[in-house]
Amino acid sequence: MTLDSKVPSGPLADKWDRHRFDSKLVNPANRRKHTVIIVGTGLAGASAAASLGELGYNVLSFCIHDSPRRAHSIAAQGGINAAKNYQNDADSTWRLFYDTIKGGDYRAREANVYRLAQVSANIIDQCVAQGVPFAREYGGQLDNRSFGGAQVSRTFYARGQTGQQLLLGAYQSMMRQVAKGSVTMFTQREMLDVVLIDGKARGIICRNLVTGTLERHVADAVCLATGGYGTAYYLSTNAVNSNVTAAWRAHKRGAFFANPCFTQIHPTCIPVSGDDQSKLTLMSESLRNDGRVWVPKNTGDKRHPNDIPEADRDYYLERKYPSFGNLVPRDVASRNAKAMCDEGKGVGDSGLAVFLDFKEAIGRLGRDTVAGRYGNLFDMYRKITDEDPYKEPMRIYPAMHYAMGGLWVDYNLMSTIPGLHVLGEANFSDHGANRLGASALMQGLADGYFVIPYTLAHYIASTPVAKATTDHDAFKEAEHAVQARINRLLAGKGTKTPRALHRELGRLLWDEVGMSRNDAGLRRALRRIPELREEFWQNVAVPGDPNNLNKNLEYAGRVADYLEFAELLATDALHRTESCGGHFREESQTADGEAKRDDENFAYAAAWAWQGDGNAPELHKEPLVFENVKPSQRSYK
Amino acid sequence: MKVHLKVWRQSGPNVKGRLVDYTADQVSPDMSFLEMLDSVNETLIAKGDDPIAFDSDCREGICGTCGVMVDGRPHGPDSCTTVCQLHMRRYKDGDTIVIEPWHAKAFPLIKDLVVDRSAFDEIIQAGGYTSVNTGGAADANAILIPKTAADEAMDSAQCIGCGACVAVCKNAAAALFTSAKVTHLSLLPQGQMEAAARVVAMVDAMDTAGFGGCSNEGECEAVCPKGITLKNIATMNREYRKAMFANR
């Protein structure tokens, strides 16, 4: 199969306009006759449901939570990028495009990224119209801050709760459509399969998590906005219920999975404290605007940080990257933290942490200003660690945070299954091998508010679909398969909990497919994962009733999917012998230890096709063509 | 350390529930309260018993999914803290902790510590938005908003919809939740257009969903994990009266 990205021809800056003009439309009076299923209610899913509902489509929206407002977009802290140039610091659509392509280490599609930069400004306008309370200057205008990987201030924010405010804006817009009847909300539903009729995505099978009932839903098209797969690592900054199940089940029905090895390890998280920890907490990257990262110059210096004089401190990011300093991109910051700890300069009991110090900022700006910018983050840090960051430096360490990889989509956000569209973090499209800070919110909302309303209309208008009901054999077959898998899980009367097995998988992935990867380690992981999977099915304990709220059963199903997905993740990491962005192969580095790309052999998106249980996945390549930027060795020095 | 738990167990909405005793061994002070419950569940699952059902998701205090009564207080003893951010260093070896679900008519119980809070979504549906469609918004800086107004709106907008305010209220009123959204939008120019209709519809929805009336006692403010203040309720009442006069 040849992957057709469907990128329109013509100059980069005109592609989206031209594409919108060339796209077919659905007459307003006909839209209500078309049903669209949207799975997930984070930024991408909620904004898509609201926008499509406003246009008049019959939208069915699904989420696993008790309310759509709980989706994990809500936890995003720092901000959202937009090329507004409100700060008069030479920002532009072109610069946001360039920063994003370069930040992604030249592994994203030019046309998608340019479109993202183009619509970024509309997102801010839309959110302000909804009443999102962005931070403002005394003159009443919007305030901006700067973020990693950029030398301009283009990040809009609402204290340290930007994701919350943007999500509530999208959620409220969606609830308005629920009241109007154009969106029907299905909460506490977990999508467990995509249903294909005549090769097109026509519905889903989901489990009602409260009653245990399996439900069939039919539509003209399906959109997945189900987030990333970071929880495969067990400990991550993702919510504990975030999972890969919907995307993975779609993959097994024919949607290619692209670049799964492009994972983002976020540099500023609260370090691991013990074995019982269930998640890691992010400290927003915005802290690096004013916080200075350092370690003791001498290995084994166990003095209290406040007792270590300036002369004995190594502000290693400022030293190694004078032009970007503490604001280097996330992958660079994470790798350097690991390198310092590997040299024995790590701090804290575990030695797996570095300092993030606000003493200089508090001296320069005053405690009140620092509290105004980061107060809620400081409070969160104090609650978790029992230490006061106003008085002593924070200890931080990298943690799994975001998935740049995801289901492969074309320019229209459609996967390799016709009619199955993928939005937000669940797709692979815009961030290449490394996402810049404050760009996830931008992409989720771009996909939902400003891309899918056009591209889905084109799909619906140009694709005749047969009338179908949920009595179709394809629904029966899919429901039967889902039921069989649930029965198999419930038959598990072993002694190991899903959590214990998940924790074991997570440790393996963190050690072998984490911040730094090599051939031997990846091969070890690929040997171990099938063993763990075998152990899961032999020895997992899933007590309780299937016809009732059974969170352990839900969790067991997700862990079973991680155990399949992890193998693809490691396979992709092994095949890509270059380093790029968040994917660092020890065999491929420059003389000074930076990621070394291999454009000759790897300038492509790796899209994997499922070949059935026990068979190796098949690799398809989408070549990445750069007509407007020249891939170069990234330098933040 | 070791703590003793008395946990509300109820397998479904129509069966009788009761408090069941458990002991959490090997509790470390750095564990969060929910991680302590996880550890109890791990033991139950490994024995083939039904684990304690409780809700949680982000575990960093922002999604509003978690929430249980801990010794009679929503989210436990710490102020401005969700139960996922409560840490076991707050407790001593040998302590006994009583854990119950939210009790409110408008939040029917699903199982154990899990309740259905969809009534909150119904209140938002009634008017907790600005009626603007996607596209066509003016430039974001076209409307100036005083920093103080934006900051105050943010204070109200940060409500996480956990339901602690309802759970602690003897009337099971949703006034703090509803007023936080009314206040957020009433402070901003974007919210003015529909201000009168919004507050009336949201207050009606609150009553229809089965929440009680507010009698201004302020327990809600005391237990709100996000520090939403009673001033919001005063604002809602003022907006409501304004709307009543405007409608005459």
The answer to whether the CB atoms of A276 and B35 lie below 8 A apart is yes
Question: Cβ contacts (< 8 Å) between B87 and chain A: which residues?
Answer: 383-384, 386
The helices-and-strands tally (H runs, E runs) of chain A is 18, 19
Average pLDDT over residues A175-195: 98
Amino acid in the structure at residue A281? T
Q: What pLDDT, on a 0 to 100 scale, did the predictor assign at position A439?
A: 96
Q: Which fold has domain B3-111?
A: Ubiquitin-like (UB roll) (3.10.20)
CB count within 10 Å of CB A519 equals: 13
Kindly write down the DSSP assignment for every residue of A71-100, as one continuous string. SGGGG--S-EE----TT-SS--HHHHHHHH
What's CA A202's distance to the chain center, in Å? Answer: 26
Q: How far apart are CA A582 and CA A565, in angstroms?
A: 19
Whether B14 has its CB under 8 Å from any CB of chain A: the answer is no
The answer to whether the CB atoms of B161 and A86 lie below 8 A apart is no
Strand runs labelled E in B101-167: 109-111, 114-115
Best residue of A41, A64, A67 to probe chain B, by most B CBs closer than 10 Å: A67
Whether A185 has its CB under 8 Å from any CB of chain B: the answer is yes
Residues 542-581 of A with CB under 8 A from B: 542-545, 548-549, 551-552
Which sign, positive or negative, has the C-alpha torsion A256, A257, A259, A264? Answer: positive
Nearest CB partner across the interface for B134, out of A126, A168, A551:
A126
Whether B63 has its CB under 8 Å from any CB of chain A: the answer is yes
Would you call B79 exposed, middle or buried from its count of C-beta atoms within 10 A (0-12, 13-18, 19+)?
exposed
**Residue A481 phi, psi dihedral angles, 5° rounding:** -65, -40
CB count within 10 Å of CB A633 equals: 11
Q: What is the nearest CA distance from A544 to chain B, expressed in angstroms? A: 5
User: Strand B3-9 to strand B96-100: parallel, antiparallel, or no bridges (unpaired)?
Assistant: parallel
Q: What pLDDT, on a 0 to 100 scale, did the predictor assign at position A165?
A: 98
CB count within 10 Å of CB A612 equals: 8
Domains by residue range for chain A, with CATH:
266-401 (3.90.700.10), 473-602 (1.20.58.100)
Q: What is the nearest CA distance from A613 to chain B, expressed in angstroms? A: 28
- Provide the percentage of residues in chain A whose pLDDT is more than 90: 91
Both tokens assigned to B1: 């350390």
Q: How many residues does chain A have?
A: 637
The answer to whether the CB atoms of B28 and A172 lie below 8 A apart is no
Q: Across the strands, what pairs with B4?
A: B23, B96
Amino acid in the structure at residue A594? E
The answer to whether the CB atoms of A384 and B85 lie below 8 A apart is yes
Whether A74 has its CB under 8 Å from any CB of chain B: the answer is yes
pLDDT band at A275 (very low <50, low <70, confident <90, very high): confident
pLDDT tens digit sequence for A481-496: 999 999 999 997 899 9
Q: How far apart are CA B66 and CA B167, in angstroms?
A: 13
Q: How far apart are CA A465 and CA A197, in angstroms?
A: 9
Whether A491 has its CB under 8 Å from any CB of chain B: the answer is no
Whether B15 has its CB under 8 Å from any CB of chain A: the answer is no
Whether B111 has its CB under 8 Å from any CB of chain A: the answer is yes
pLDDT tens digit sequence for B101-138: 999 999 999 999 999 999 999 999 999 999 999 999 99
The answer to whether the CB atoms of B132 and A276 lie below 8 A apart is no
Q: How far apart are CA A597 and CA A591, in angstroms?
A: 13
Q: Which of A144-148, A401-405, A620-624, B82-86 has the lowest mean pLDDT?
A: A144-148
Which sign, positive or negative, has the C-alpha torsion B46, B49, B50, B52? Answer: negative
User: Among A237, A278, A265, which residue's Cα sits nearest to residue A75?
Assistant: A237
Alpha-helix residue ranges (DSSP H) falling in B209-247: 219-223, 231-247
Q: What is the nearest CA distance from B113 to chain A, expressed in angstroms? A: 11
Question: Cβ contacts (< 8 Å) between A158 and chain B: which residues?
Answer: 154, 157
With residue B41 as reference, give the H or E element that holds it. helix B33-46
Q: How far apart are CA A162 and CA A79, in angstroms?
A: 5
CB A57 within 8 A of CB A29: no
- Three-state SS for A210-242 is CCCCEEEEECCEEEECCCCCHHHHCCCCCCCCC
Give me chain B's average pLDDT, please. Answer: 97
Question: Cβ contacts (< 8 Å) between A186 and chain B: which residues?
Answer: none
Question: Cβ contacts (< 8 Å) between B64 and chain A: which residues?
Answer: 67, 69-70
The answer to whether the CB atoms of B144 and A141 lie below 8 A apart is yes
The answer to whether the CB atoms of B191 and A131 lie below 8 A apart is yes
Domain spanning B118-132+143-247 has what CATH number?
1.10.1060.10
Whether A165 has its CB under 8 Å from any CB of chain B: the answer is yes
Q: What pLDDT, on a 0 to 100 scale, did the predictor assign at position B247?
A: 67
Question: Cβ contacts (< 8 Å) between A65 and chain B: which residues?
Answer: 57, 65
pLDDT of B248 over the 80 cut:
no
Q: What pLDDT, on a 0 to 100 scale, did the predictor assign at position A285?
A: 84
Report the alpha-carbon angle A52-A56-A57, nearest 5.
60
- Provide the percentage of residues in chain A whose pLDDT is more than 70: 100
pLDDT tens digit sequence for B186-244: 999 999 999 999 999 999 999 999 999 999 999 999 999 999 999 999 999 999 999 99
User: Among A301, A273, A230, which residue's Cα sits nearest to residue A395?
Assistant: A273
Q: What is the nearest CA distance from A73 to chain B, expressed in angstroms? A: 9
Both tokens assigned to A295: 């370690």
The answer to whether the CB atoms of B81 and A383 lie below 8 A apart is yes
Question: Cβ contacts (< 8 Å) between B32 and chain A: which residues?
Answer: 278, 384
pLDDT of B11 over the 60 cut:
yes
Q: Which residues contact A436 (CB under 8 A, 6 or more apart)?
A: A81, A99, A100, A103, A104, A147, A148, A149, A150, A329, A330
More confident: A636 or A539: A539
pLDDT tens digit sequence for A343-397: 999 999 889 999 999 999 999 999 999 998 888 889 889 989 999 999 999 999 9
Nearest CB partner across the interface for A551, out of B53, B87, B124:
B53
Average pLDDT over residues B132-147: 96
Active site residues of A: 330
The answer to whether the CB atoms of B154 and A168 lie below 8 A apart is no
Q: Domain boundaries in chain B? A: 3-111, 118-132+143-247
Whether A21 has its CB under 8 Å from any CB of chain B: the answer is no
Give me chain A's average pLDDT, please. Answer: 96
Both tokens assigned to A238: 């993702």
Whether B113 has its CB under 8 Å from any CB of chain A: the answer is no
The answer to whether the CB atoms of A140 and B31 lie below 8 A apart is no
Q: Across the strands, what pairs with A218?
A: A203
Whether B11 has its CB under 8 Å from any CB of chain A: the answer is yes
- Provide the percentage of residues in chain B whose pLDDT is more than 90: 98
With residue B176 as reference, give the H or E element that holds it. helix B175-186
Whether A65 has its CB under 8 Å from any CB of chain B: the answer is yes
CB A104 within 8 A of CB A8: no
User: Among A358, A353, A145, A345, which residue's Cα sits nearest to residue A267?
Assistant: A353
- A-B interface: how many C-beta pairs under 8 angstroms? 221
Nearest CB partner across the interface for A65, out of B65, B111, B130:
B65
**Separation of first and last alpha carbons in chain B:** 64
CB B187 within 8 A of CB B152: yes
